[in-house]
Amino acid sequence: ETGVTQTPRHLVMGMTNKKSLKCEQHLGHNAMYWYKQSAKKPLELMFVYSLEERVENNSVPSRFSPECPNSSHLFLHLHTLQPEDSALYLCASSQGSRVNYGYTFGSGTRLTVV
Amino acid sequence: AQKVTQAQTEISVVEKEDVTLDCVYETRDTTYYLFWYKQPPSGELVFLIRRNSFDEQNEISGRYSWNFQKSTSSFNFTITASQVVDSAVYFCALSEGSSSNTGKLIFGQGTTLQVKP
């Protein structure tokens, strides 16, 4: 266990479904991130939250909607996804929003859109 | 613009061989940080090392060593006497330390290392 927990580990959803990914950290970190890892592509930063405020949104389609209710929890709400959205979604946290402290990653949610 | 290149997509070695994973980066900042992460089959990225741009000393940690050379913008990672448990995807990453207040790691495409018994 890294201290960052992601649920579920695997998710299969239809294109018309609505689902949510959950990330929880108990490291006392105050910045959290969503990354997308597709096959044969670099990890893509999706969203950054610092002190529960979204500070970056990297041109992510609106069918992905993040939520950070407190510094320990981060959600990624999904709706009307496309098959190309199938990927490993990784959550990370860091102490301070400056990444020179390094990230701690969760194990990811393997999402398959059918 | 920031960029990290890991030219080796896949490497296969036999146990006990030494192996070097290459990483070349691009940045305009004079202050930056370099990282290596390991991603085993379980999926999570495990932090291995962080280096800042002002510290060019090479580092050794057990069977792992890192060679940081600013002159060639490289931050290579060597595993000595590789073991089957070293099989994983390894990512090199870059952060510009003097940029925005938001954390942002730029990753290379990763190198898949397979160590055969």
The mean per-residue pLDDT over the stretch B97-116 comes to 78
Contacts of residue B71, defined as CB under 8 A and 6 or more positions apart, other chains included, come to none
A94 and B109 within 8 Å at the Cβ level: the answer is: no
Q: Does A71 touch chain B (CB under 8 A)?
A: no
Q: Does B107 touch chain A (CB under 8 A)?
A: yes
| pLDDT tens-digit map of A43-88 | 888 998 887 777 777 789 999 999 999 989 999 999 999 999 999 9
B50 and A100 within 8 Å at the Cβ level: the answer is: yes
d(CA B13, CA A106): 28
Question: Does B20 score more than 50 pLDDT?
Answer: yes
Least confident of A84-93, B5-14, B38-47: B38-47
The two tokens of residue A81 are 């996804």
pLDDT, position B78: 97
The mean per-residue pLDDT over the stretch B91-113 comes to 79
Nearest-Cα residue of chain A relative to residue B101: A98
Least confident of A24-33, B15-24, B84-93: A24-33
Beta-carbon contacts below 8 Å between A and B: 72
For chain A, percent of residues with pLDDT exceeding 90? 63
Least confident of A103-107, B13-17, B70-74: A103-107
d(CA B108, CA B93): 6
pLDDT, position A97: 55
Read off the amino acid at residue A101.
Y
- Specify whether the CB–CB gap between B78 and B67 falls below 8 A: yes
- Specify whether the CB–CB gap between A49 and A31 falls below 8 A: yes
pLDDT, position A7: 96
pLDDT, position A40: 72
pLDDT, position B60: 87
A5-43 in b/e form (b: 16+ CB < 10 A) is: ebeeeebebeeeeebebbbbbeeebbbbbbbbbeeeebb
Q: Are strands A18-25 and A4-7 parallel, antiparallel or unpaired?
A: antiparallel
pLDDT, position B98: 54
A103 and B104 within 8 Å at the Cβ level: the answer is: no
Q: Does B46 touch chain A (CB under 8 A)?
A: yes
Q: Which residue has the tokens 């946290």?
A: A93
* 3-state DSSP assignment of residue A99: helix
Question: Does B61 score more than 60 pLDDT?
Answer: yes
pLDDT confidence band for B101 (50 / 70 / 90):
very low
Q: Tell me what the pLDDT averaged over chain B comes to.
A: 90
